[in-house]
Amino acid sequence: MKIATWNVNSLKVRLPHVVDWLAANQPDALCLQELKCENSAFPLAEIEAAGYQAVFNGQKTYNGVAILTRQSLADVTHNIPGFADEQKRIIAGTLDGVRIVCGYFPNGQAVGSDKFAYKMAWLEALTAWLQDELKATPRLVLAGDYNVAPEDRDAHPDWKDEIHVSEPERAAFRRLINLGLTDAFRMFEQEERAFSWWDYRMGAFRRNFGLRIDHLLISAPLVEHCTACYTDKAPRKLERPSDHTPVVVELK
């Protein structure tokens, strides 16, 4: 099973890239973040024409998540149960016994801000919910844009802001790991300074001035089945790219 995650920064703008990427890579599931469109505007016909089904949780202008699959998902969940939130950041479904959770984690803006407090509360609610999810479905993949670079090697050395690399954010990431999850990307040898996001400005991609903030965490029963995990930088080189690359995990 091949599962990928990709923050597309507007599905409307990136739809041609998504359709091309599906054709070229044939994932079993593609988790998307930052759709930036209402459910009524979701491009379902185009996705279906590409041979995929979709479940989605969108809103106007901001946020929004979807999972595209070739086979139907079971037990689809929208948002974190019991966590009151106007922002559409979670969708989950079960594919062939694997629980796939797709998340667009809050940005946080600046350490100490109201948005940072929301980020931390959201992470706490996610962690509590996933603890239950793992009991119900031990085979689980947590895919998405975490907006956290978990270790120093996941950020360019010249990254000066605290946001995305602060200790409270990294501690929250470790609490997810401590549920029994493994960062699939780090199971395999990777190049130095391997990132998943680069700012649009200042030639950041060309200079490889980026962060690794898009992750695929897999639960313990999946670890022995995991054969590869990698980023695909090709879409970042296209015209009008998303600022994020897809990240892919392969399970056999």
Partner DNA sequence: ATGGCTTACGTGGTAAGA
Q: Which positions are annotated as active-site residues? A: 104, 145, 244
Q: Which is nearer to DNA, 53 or 107 (CB)?
A: 107
171 phi, psi to nearest 5 deg: -65, -40
From candidates 99, 164, 215, 236, binder to DNA by CB under 7 A: 164
Binding to DNA by residue 207, rule CB under 7 A?
yes
Please name which of 248, 252, 250, 189 lies closest in space to residue 225, comparing C-alpha atoms.
252
User: Between residues 182 and 208, which has the closer beta carbon with respect to DNA?
Assistant: 208
How is residue 113 annotated by DSSP? S
Neighbour-count burial for 164-176, b at 16+ CB within 10 Å, e otherwise: bbbebbbebbebb
Q: How many CB atoms lie within 10 A of CB 183?
A: 18
Tell me whether residue 9 or residue 219 sits nearer to DNA (CB atom).
Answer: 9
Alpha carbons 114 and 39: distance in angstroms, whole number: 28
Contacting DNA (CB under 7 A), which of 5, 7, 77, 231?
A: 7
Residue 114 interacts with DNA (CB under 7 A): yes or no: no
* Single residue of 25, 39, 53, 109 touching DNA by CB under 7 A: 109
Instruction: Write out the residues near DNA by the rule CB under 7 A.
Output: 7, 9-10, 12-13, 34, 36-37, 60-62, 106-107, 109-110, 115, 145, 147, 156, 158-161, 163-164, 197, 199-204, 207, 209, 211, 213, 240, 243
